[in-house]
Structure 1
Amino acid sequence: MTGRIVFFSTTRRWAARAFMPMPLAGLVVLIAPFVPVANIVPATLGALALSGMALSLAIAGRGAWLDRALGGPDKAFAWHRAAGYAAVAGLVGHWLLASSVGAGPIPPLADAGELAGLGAGVGIVVLSTISALRLVPHHWWRASHWLMGPLFAVSVFHTFLSAGPLPAFSPPWLVLLAVSGIGSWGWIASLRKVSRAEVPAHVTRIERRDGAIEFEVAADITTPRYRPGQFAALIVPGLSDEPHPFSIAGGSGARRQFGIRVAGDWTARLHREMRVGDMVTLGAPQGRFTPRLDSARKAQIWVAGGAGITPFLAALETMQPDDAAPITLIYVYRGAPGAIGLDRLHRQSARLPQLKLVLHDSACEGRITGLVLDAVMTALPRRCDLYMCGPEALKDMARAAYRRAEKAGRVRHEDFDFRAAWSLADLAAGVRRIALLFIGPAAAVGRAAPPAFKRLHAATGLSTLIPVRVAP
Structure 2
Amino acid sequence: MADDGLEALLGSNQRLQEADFSGLLDGLQEGAKDLGEPGLYLLLLLVAITLTRWVPYRYWRYLHRVMPLIYLALTAHAVLLAPLVWWQQPSGWLMALLAAGGSVASLQSLSGQIGRSRCYQGLVQAVRQTSTSLTEVVCEMSQRWPGHRAGQFALVTFERGEGAHPFSLSSADNASGRVNFQIKALGDYTRKLPQRLSRGQAVTLEGPYGRFDPDRGRRNAQQVWVAGGIGVTPFLAALEKRLVDADPARPAVTLHYCTAGAADDPMVARLQRLTEQLPEVSLHLHDSRQGQRLTADRLRLHDRRVDLWFCGPKGLASALRSGLKQRSLSLRFHQESYQFR
Tell me which interval the TM-score lies in, with the shorter structure as reference length. Answer: 0.7 to 0.9
Among residues 293, 303, 308, which one is paired with 1:368 in the alignment?
293
1:195 deviates by 4.1
Pair 268,166 (structure 1): closer, same or farther in 2 beyond 3 Å? farther
**Pair 1:210-2:132 in alignment:** yes
1:123 deviates by 2.5
Residue 262 of structure 1 is matched in structure 2 by 185
Q: Give CA deviations for 1:203-244 in whole Å, capped at 9, x if unaligned.
A: 223332131122311113431111101111111218x53111
AA partner of residue 137 (structure 1): P
CA distance in 2, matches of 1:207, 1:415: 27
Match of 2:19, SS state, is coil
**Pair 1:111-2:22 in alignment:** no
AA partner of residue 121 (structure 2): P
Q: Give CA deviations for 1:369-415 in whole Å, capped at 9, x if unaligned.
A: 52xx31324x3311111111111112212222332333323221123
Pair 173,388 (structure 1): closer, same or farther in 2 beyond 3 Å? same
Residue 172 of structure 1 is matched in structure 2 by 91
Number of aligned positions between the proteins: 321
Structure with the higher fraction of residues in helix conformation: 1
**Pair 1:231-2:178 in alignment:** no
AA partner of residue 263 (structure 1): L
**Pair 1:275-2:220 in alignment:** no
Share of identical aligned residues, percent? 28
**Pair 1:245-2:166 in alignment:** yes
1:279 deviates by 2.7
Pair 100,349 (structure 1): closer, same or farther in 2 beyond 3 Å? same
AA partner of residue 232 (structure 2): I
1:100 deviates by 7.8
CA distance in 1, matches of 2:266, 2:97: 49
| TM-score using structure 2 length | 0.83
Pair 312,163 (structure 1): closer, same or farther in 2 beyond 3 Å? closer
Among residues 392, 403, 413, which one is paired with 2:314 in the alignment?
392
AA partner of residue 140 (structure 1): Y
Residue 343 of structure 1 is matched in structure 2 by 269
Residue 139 of structure 1 is matched in structure 2 by 58
AA partner of residue 203 (structure 1): V
Match of 1:263, SS state, is coil
Pair 166,308 (structure 1): closer, same or farther in 2 beyond 3 Å? farther
Match of 1:285, SS state, is strand
Structure with the higher fraction of residues in strand conformation: 2
Among residues 313, 326, 334, which one is paired with 2:236 in the alignment?
313
**Pair 1:334-2:260 in alignment:** yes
Give unpaired runs (5+ residues) of structure 2: none
CA distance in 2, matches of 1:126, 1:294: 42
CA distance in 2, matches of 1:297, 1:338: 37
Match of 1:168, SS state, is helix
1:118 deviates by 2.0
CA distance in 2, matches of 1:297, 1:272: 48
Residues 307 and 340 of structure 1 are in contact (CA less than 8 Å); yes or no, is this contact kept in structure 2?
no
CA distance in 1, matches of 2:249, 2:142: 39
Residues 112 and 162 of structure 1 are in contact (CA less than 8 Å); yes or no, is this contact kept in structure 2?
no
1:126 deviates by 2.7
Pair 338,224 (structure 1): closer, same or farther in 2 beyond 3 Å? farther
Match of 2:53, SS state, is coil
Among residues 332, 338, 341, which one is paired with 1:416 in the alignment?
338
| TM-score using structure 1 length | 0.62
1:138 deviates by 1.1
1:294 deviates by 8.6
CA distance in 2, matches of 1:299, 1:282: 35
Match of 1:310, SS state, is helix
AA partner of residue 236 (structure 2): L
Residue 301 of structure 1 is matched in structure 2 by 224
CA distance in 1, matches of 2:195, 2:331: 42
AA partner of residue 122 (structure 1): Y
Match of 1:207, SS state, is strand
CA distance in 2, matches of 1:177, 1:353: 59
**Pair 1:122-2:45 in alignment:** no
Greater mean alpha carbon deviation, residues 141-150 or residues 273-282:
273-282
